[in-house]
Amino acid sequence: MTPEHWDAFFQIHSDLPREGPGEDADVAWATQVAKVGQSARIADLGCGPGGDIAALRRAAAEGSVWACDTHEPFVQQAQARYDQDPDVTLAVADMSAPFGMFDFIWCAGAAYFLGISAALSTWRQHLSPGGVIAFSEPCYFTDTPSEAARTFWDGEGVPLSTEAGIRDQIARAGYQTLAIRNLSDQAWENYYTPLEARISDLRSEASPLLVEIIKDTRNEMDAWRACKDETGYVLCVVRPK
């Protein structure tokens, strides 16, 4: 996209509670599977505006969260939400180069930018002994996805697989899969419902370019709702072998 397209995109994607599908129940489930302790050191990589930080803090009430994103306005929004918590640190940083060692690494809907193999290889260097990683990954829920399901991910550069294929990539990266589950419809609506409200607020003052981005965003939401039984995200909890 051109700089003007990115400006319009981020005009829509600002002041939202989260920048991808998810819910507190995802964090609670993953941290329970990982047996995250109350004093755990947690990394939230690609944290967006911090939609999962509160749930991560509940999972490790006596621990800490180091969270990063490359988009500074998202980090600033997260800082405003958690500036009263001394055990939350926000950084404008690349998720491929987290700072520190962690007992639990969380990455919601962003690991695919690196690829499973590269992400797990890089993050292994930042895992404390016994540490666990949880990440959500785009996935087909069927071996025979429809054209609509395949088209949904067009332009994302995501080489989609089924759960079996994702498990294989995890194993080849030298990790053991502890558990996998699909993200729920509610997790997606937690993202799309505020986004719809944001679009409605902007529509009356939208420039032609912004109207185009709004239309693309609306088409994305409609497309997911039409093929949600065939594709979405799986949440994977893994640890090095």
pTM comes to 0.95
Residue 233 · residue 139 · CB < 8 Å: yes
Single-letter residue type at 68: C
Q: Report the pLDDT value the prediction gives residue 181, as an integer from 0 to 100.
A: 98
pLDDT at 219: 93
| Alpha carbons 139 and 21: distance in angstroms, whole number | 13
What are the tokens at 95? 């998720």
The token pair that represents 211 in the structure block: 């109207």
d(C-alpha 73, C-alpha 188), whole Å: 22
Q: Is 141 exposed, middle or buried (0-12, 13-18, 19+ CB in 10 A)?
A: middle
Residues in the chain: 241
Instruction: Take residue 207 and report the two structure tokens written for it.
Output: 């420039």
Asked whether 175 and 240 are in contact (CB, 8 A), the reply is yes
Q: Name the CATH superfamily housing domain 21-184+232-240.
A: Vaccinia Virus protein VP39 (3.40.50.150)
Strand 127-140, strand 231-240: pairing: antiparallel
**Phi, psi of 205, rounded to the nearest 5 degrees:** -115, 15
CA 2 to centroid of chain Cα atoms? 24
Measured distance between the N- and C-terminal CA atoms of the chain, rounded to whole angstroms: 40
Q: Which structure tokens are listed for 205?
A: 């003052």
* pLDDT for the residue 7: 87
Low-confidence ranges of the chain (pLDDT < 50): none
Q: Would you kindly state where each structural domain of the chain is located, as residue ranges?
A: 21-184+232-240
- What pLDDT score was predicted for residue 67? 98
**Listed residue (115, 132, 119) closest to 241, CA to CA:** 132
Is residue 126 within 8 Å of residue 96, measured between CB atoms? no
Each residue's pLDDT tens digit, 75-113:
999 999 999 999 999 999 999 999 999 999 999 999 999
pLDDT at residue 8, rounded to an integer: 86
**89-121 exposure pattern, b = at least 16 Cβ within 10 A, e = fewer:** bbeebebeebeeebbbbbbbbbbbbbebeebbe
The SS3 assignment for 205 reads coil
Helices (H), 60-160: 72-82, 116-124, 147-152
